[in-house]
Amino acid sequence: MKRHAPGVRALAATLLAFITLSSAGATRGATLPERLDAIAADAFAKDGPGGSVIVVQDGKTLLRKGYGMADLELGVRVTPEMVFRIGSMGKQFTAVAILQLVKEGKVKFDDPLSKFVPDFPGAEAITVEQLLTHTSGIRSYNDVPSALIGVCEDKTPMQLVEGIRNEKPAFAPGESWMYSNSGYLFLGIIIEKASGMKYADYMQAKLFTPLGLKNTFVEDEAHIVAGRVKGYAIGPGNVLHNAGYMNMTLPYAAGSIETNVDDLARWNELLVAGKVIDKALVDRAWTESRTKDGKRTGYGYGWYVSDEDGVHFVVHGGAITGFRSSGVLVPEKKLFVVILHNALSSGNDLKYTTTRLALEALGQSWSATPVAMTDDAKNRFTGIYDFDGMTRTVWFEEGKLTAQQAGEPPFTLLPVAKDEFVYDRAFSRLKFRMAPSGAIESLDFISRGQPTQTGKRVANA
């Protein structure tokens, strides 16, 4: 669960201003599976927290492999059938459950939240569709300290709701976009009330079991799960330690699912084939939503979506205590890529690697083309930039410009224009904007699947 979830607006086209695409492979002369293996292996330390990776195209498995360690203390290596938490990637399962209930006539997209949670402030103006698309304006409960009291204790969904009851909305429903775990908290409650089943029971009975997802569960820590890996975190000073404890009733319908790459590949294959829900509903889920005034959001129902150069990309990632995940689906090409990783805050940008794997499978490799820039020129971009309460710091040290979002790993910046930089090992870029005086006044953060975010320069670094 994260405030700003990972996503992709354009896996290739967003890069056109600063990425040169070519047909050259990652390793000259190697086969496609060998090139994919080399890209994936580069993402993980051999003896550090690891990852499970799968690349499937048109029913053919191009890569299915584990890298690194599943349990450092026991010396157990990752194998692809192992089970990982997937965090916010699990929102797609919640969204599809809602679509099932829509098909059955038990839920409507324009149903007000008040139909299911009548006493929540402003619920009569919020629709089910706005919860799906993160346009409800409800603040994410994991950003509200009062909602997170007792994170080691079991929480009912309504106890989580109580933690945000008195929070002022970020905006009126439908007027803007803001990633919110609270929307999916409420969707879980709607699933329970519309079906008469507990969220975990519904997911197991209506999705996991009938679809043959034998290693997919709403996590229950009391259950023994074969092949469940251990989670890690990297703290100050790059020190590796065991992940802290989180009671998995806290993420609930926003991110409590655990699974493996085989089940995710099967899930995506069945979705593309229209064997989970009607193709029309799948297409609706994979269509970009818009705000009331027509602004693009980059988000459908449970997935980030984009259309670039005639190619439709459907993606999502996740970050939760001890784990990260990233997946890319190109439905028309029947291409699916996913990485599951058992470390949080590791500095490993999975989106970068899944994107490289997807581009390689599509026959496109890339290379960045930095431009020359003096140290003095780089130094003028340093500062602290405020993005509606979230800060991103840019500093210059030892000839390099570095950017870091609060609570996230730092990334080296590579200049590609006089006022534009790309992240090293990440498909994101920064564009600096000047005041009439020539001083840097703001910063645009451009990332895949998300509307451009603009931060105002508020202090020196």
Same domain for 333 and 386, yes or no, is: no
The whole-number pLDDT of residue 2 equals 46
The whole-number pLDDT of residue 84 equals 99
Burial readout 86-105 (b: 16 or more C-beta within 10 A, e: otherwise)? bbbbbbbbbbbbbbbbbeee
**Could you tell me the pTM of the whole model?**
0.85
Domain count for the chain: 2
The three-class DSSP label of residue 391 is strand
Same domain for 161 and 262, yes or no, is: yes
Give burial (CB, 10 Å; 0-12/13-18/19+) of 272. Answer: buried
The whole-number pLDDT of residue 69 equals 98
The whole-number pLDDT of residue 29 equals 66
Q: What is the DSSP letter of 170?
A: S
Same domain for 147 and 124, yes or no, is: yes
Same domain for 361 and 410, yes or no, is: no
Same domain for 345 and 450, yes or no, is: no
The whole-number pLDDT of residue 408 equals 79
Same domain for 223 and 162, yes or no, is: yes
**Which of 311, 336, 369 marks a domain boundary?**
369
Q: Percent of the chain beyond pLDDT 70?
A: 91
Strand 343-344 relative to strand 365-368: parallel, antiparallel, unpaired? unpaired
Same domain for 391 and 319, yes or no, is: no
Same domain for 361 and 282, yes or no, is: yes
**Which of 342, 369, 396 marks a domain boundary?**
369
Helix/strand/coil percent split, the chain, to 5:
25, 30, 45
Same domain for 106 and 182, yes or no, is: yes
Range of the domain at 99: 1-369
**Which of 344, 369, 394 marks a domain boundary?**
369
Low-confidence ranges of the chain (pLDDT < 70): 1-29, 308-309, 345-348, 365-368, 448-451
Same domain for 68 and 131, yes or no, is: yes
Domain with residue 389: its CATH number is 2.40.128.50
Q: Percent of the chain beyond pLDDT 90?
A: 76
The three-class DSSP label of residue 246 is coil
Handedness of CA 301, 91, 426, 80 (dihedral sign): negative
Domain with residue 45: its CATH number is 3.40.710.10
- Over residues 100-117, the pLDDT tens digits come to 999 999 999 999 999 999
The whole-number pLDDT of residue 128 equals 99
